[in-house]
Amino acid sequence: MAHVKNKRESSSGRFAYDGLERVIHERARLSIMTSLAGHPNGLLFSDIKELCSLTDGNLCRHLQILQEAHLVEVSKDQRGNRPQTLCRLTDRGRRRFLEYVSVLESVVSDAVAATEEHPAGTAVRKGLAPA
């Protein structure tokens, strides 16, 4: 995968990043995606619920959004007398998550570069104190 900075310089501002797509970037969905990325064989619904500190309803809704985007697949099975729901990243979901992480690396790199240009405690314009 080629590393490409996804910054839009004109319409959205100097530090807007196209790759930080909302479907993944939202906190709960990012938490779900991150949990699933670390478990290639998938996780049970109850495990994701606990790892991400979500209610049943919130997790169901976020999984539905991720499924509609074809990032996550959900399968239901019976183990013993108990229904179990297994969730895992699709191949597309894993690829898009890795692309998302690459864009986050660009954000961090740009933030470090900006900090080096204007270290904390230095005024950007004469007479102004840093916030």
CATH architecture of 8-117: Orthogonal Bundle (1.10)
Per-residue pLDDT of the chain (131 residues; tens, 9 = 90+): 444 444 444 445 545 677 678 899 899 999 999 999 999 999 999 999 999 999 999 999 999 999 999 999 999 998 888 899 999 999 999 999 999 999 999 888 888 888 887 776 555 555 545 54
Where along the chain do its domains lie? 8-117
Write b or e for each residue in 41-51: b if 16 or more Cβ atoms lie within 10 A of its Cβ, otherwise e.
Answer: ebbebeebbeb
pTM for this prediction: 0.74
Distances in Å between the Cα of 131 and the Cα atoms of 111, 112, 119 are 17, 18, 12
